[in-house]
Structure 1
């Protein structure tokens, strides 16, 4: 069975995904309420896996809960916290629950999060994780032993950073992920759309893999300055920071900026990945501002 997200890629639609954080605790109600607001507005909802190395509920359970509510999930899986035995077990379990889309990530460093004393694993980084998923899809485990109870059929994607300072490193890593089985790419936060355009025309061209530009809702100038200071590889331009500083309603200005960026991305790549941390409820309004209509089932 083809996932709705995969079918949207096959149909070459402009793809819209959004990120939702799992609960920090045992009650998923808030997450589910937020996710419901995204129904018929996005092709799939990403559930993060310990993003920024902050402990939260396993991404698999929220993905299953979204499926139960008619929402298509993309389950993020990182190599930071589990060895190959644990990851294979989780992927098989996710597949058995109906989860089909996986975003394979290396994972943020432990020191960045709320459990700096925890022990990192990193047996698998993103490329090796993609290769593992490919093996499971073919019916073999990481040691080339057959899966006696059936192969998987996971649709794997990966992250990409078109604003990377190392152009050769970006190209090498991007191609390695494609060769390892990545079917789609969601980018890190994009602010330099000229660089995104260069990436699409100099590196991504010819591979026929959808690239979704990361669009981040900036809530204030303070929020933008915090990101510049604390998120590696991201630089919010001074012009955007000044817009937010001068705005009577910075949050509304941030929504306008995000909508403008969606429209910039429409002329460059095949989709957008929306990140509105703690304000995912505003994503439908941002899409309205960008004149992106609800999806047609």
Structure 2
């Protein structure tokens, strides 16, 4: 049993963080960022072509992290691989000792750096979760028995409590729950009243942990960029002004993130930390939030 799965079963306050695979052949920078998280997070999410931008495969990057004693959550997006490729990668992950999987549909190709690439989308996240459930039972997508042992994957899914359509978000959450999701990581949370509503009216039906997405805003400019380019997220003017007025905007962003971690601790089951290219600051944010190292 992985440490992350054990923490889920023990109902610990869960802490995960996100790292991006390298854009090139050297994993050194990724390893430096991920290594700074040892002892502070239960697992490290490895993105899979996030925003449709070319990077090293999440499976390869997850394997590298595991070899360094860092437990990965391997993100698997449906955009770039067909049914055969997805199932093959899931079998490979299992054989390599990578058991935590976050099932994602994937961002549209036009959003990224290869807009002429062809999307696949044989599946989307709910059907991918169903495929994982089948593989864990020892059968493939076509209901054929796997001759060389069933898989033992621990699947999770994304959720966005801030979607405009609350009923649509609820239906999607319930479908992922029924498909076998064992944990949920949210998108960037800026509206904690909305998160509270989600936890009391939707997530309460499920005995599965919800991790709130906490994003490190590095400056007022960064916050304005998020508002402009990240759908469904609105950073309040008050927060942007607070950053703009600070002598050290990065430090102020860390304080804001720590405050959000404390808010999340009262509302849900964990936090998913996102500090793009400044993952080294996550331990300091957790210290500011009063979150002790993981035993």
Tell me if TM exceeds 0.5: yes
Corresponding position of 1:222: 221
Report whether the alignment pairs 1:160 with 2:159. yes
Counting only pairs closer than 5 Å after superposition, residues 1-297 of structure 1 correspond to structure 2 as 2-296=1-295
Q: 1:60, 1:268 → 2: CA distance?
A: 32
After superposition, what is the alpha-carbon deviation per residue over 1:87-119, rounded to whole angstroms, capped at 9, x for unaligned?
Answer: 000000111000000000000111111111111
Q: 1:200, 1:287 → 2: CA distance?
A: 22
Q: 2:207, 2:176 → 1: CA distance?
A: 13
Indicate the SS of the match to 2:267.
coil
Moved more, 151-160 or 234-243: 234-243
Q: 2:134, 2:205 → 1: CA distance?
A: 25
Q: 1:72, 1:206 → 2: CA distance?
A: 29
Q: 2:51, 2:235 → 1: CA distance?
A: 19
Indicate the SS of the match to 1:205.
helix
Deviation, structure 1 residue 67:
1.2
Q: 1:225, 1:119 → 2: CA distance?
A: 31
Runs of 4+ displaced beyond 6 Å: none
Deviation, structure 1 residue 293:
1.1
After superposition, what is the alpha-carbon deviation per residue over 1:121-155, rounded to whole angstroms, capped at 9, x for unaligned?
Answer: 11110000000000100011101111111110100
Q: 1:277, 1:116 → 2: CA distance?
A: 23
Deviation, structure 1 residue 191:
0.6
Q: Report how many residues are paired.
A: 295
TM-score by length of 2: 0.99
TM-score by length of 1: 0.98
After superposition, what is the alpha-carbon deviation per residue over 1:39-77, rounded to whole angstroms, capped at 9, x for unaligned?
Answer: 000000000000011010000111111111111110000
Indicate the SS of the match to 1:267.
helix
CA RMSD of aligned residues (A): 0.6
Q: 1:182, 1:206 → 2: CA distance?
A: 14
After superposition, what is the alpha-carbon deviation per residue over 1:158-217, rounded to whole angstroms, capped at 9, x for unaligned?
Answer: 000001110110110000000000000000000100000000000110311100000000
Q: 1:239, 1:111 → 2: CA distance?
A: 33
Q: 1:291, 1:85 → 2: CA distance?
A: 45
